[in-house]
């Protein structure tokens, strides 16, 4: 399975079979520009984020090409990155929200089984650009733009997915 956006601003995701090299499905998302994709380890569900200004993550059934649901996040601007744990139970989403003319980073942990928001992590990033979940399914990393406009460095955070910040790097 290989998934990717077809053309900029089309909102179309193409699903390809790696073994046959053939296009197996085209999904028409509500995203203006698809910025991130993640597939569950069993290959059955595709998570899609983008820049539709609605802060939505779409979950798609890869086999049928049907939209399963839309998860409404606290990101009002974009979902820049999604990651799925190796056990397929947790989705981590990063992005940004514009509040009172100020951009704030959004970092959320979702339960993929219940499709419920588990917690919002209080990130120090202005915009979360990239997220990852470790092999242990308990630890995550998030990277993004710093809130300080004078800092030339990005910020990276390590989190326990239960909500505890483990470490922050690159804030000076």
Q: Average the pLDDT over 98-126 and give the result.
A: 85
Chain centroid offset of residue 113 CA: 16
Q: Average the pLDDT over 95-122 and give the result.
A: 86
Higher pLDDT, residue 66 or 103 = 66
**Nearest 10 degrees: Cα torsion 145, 50, 58, 142:** -20
Ramachandran assignment for 88, one of left (phi > 0), alpha (psi -120 to 50 degrees), beta (any other): left
Q: Give the HSE-up count for residue 43: Cα atoms under 13 Å, Cβ half-sphere.
A: 8
Lowest mean pLDDT among 5-9, 21-25, 80-84, 114-118: 5-9
Band of pLDDT at residue 161, cut at 50, 70 and 90: very high
Q: Average the pLDDT over 31-57 and give the result.
A: 85
The pLDDT of residue 150 is: 60
Provide the mean pLDDT of the chain. 85
Helices (H), 10-165: none
């Amino acid at each position: 399975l290989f998934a990717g956006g077809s053309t900029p601003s089309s909102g179309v995701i193409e699903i390809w079979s790696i073994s046959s090299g053939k296009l197996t499905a085209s999904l028409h998302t509500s995203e203006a520009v698809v910025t991130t994709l993640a597939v569950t380890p069993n290959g059955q569900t595709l998570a899609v984020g983008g820049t539709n200004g609605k802060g939505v993550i779409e979950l798609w059934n890869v086999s049928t090409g049907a939209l399963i649901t839309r998860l409404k996040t606290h990101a009002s601007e974009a979902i820049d990155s999604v990651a799925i744990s190796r056990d397929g139970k947790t989705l981590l989403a990063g992005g940004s929200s514009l509040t009172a003319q100020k951009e704030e980073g959004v970092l959320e942990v979702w339960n993929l089984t219940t499709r419920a928001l588990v917690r919002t992590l209080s990130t120090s990033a202005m915009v979360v650009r990239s997220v990852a979940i470790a092999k242990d399914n308990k630890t995550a990393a998030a990277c993004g733009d710093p809130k300080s406009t004078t800092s030339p460095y990005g910020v990276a955070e390590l989190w326990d997915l239960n909500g505890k910040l483990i470490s922050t790097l690159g804030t000076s």
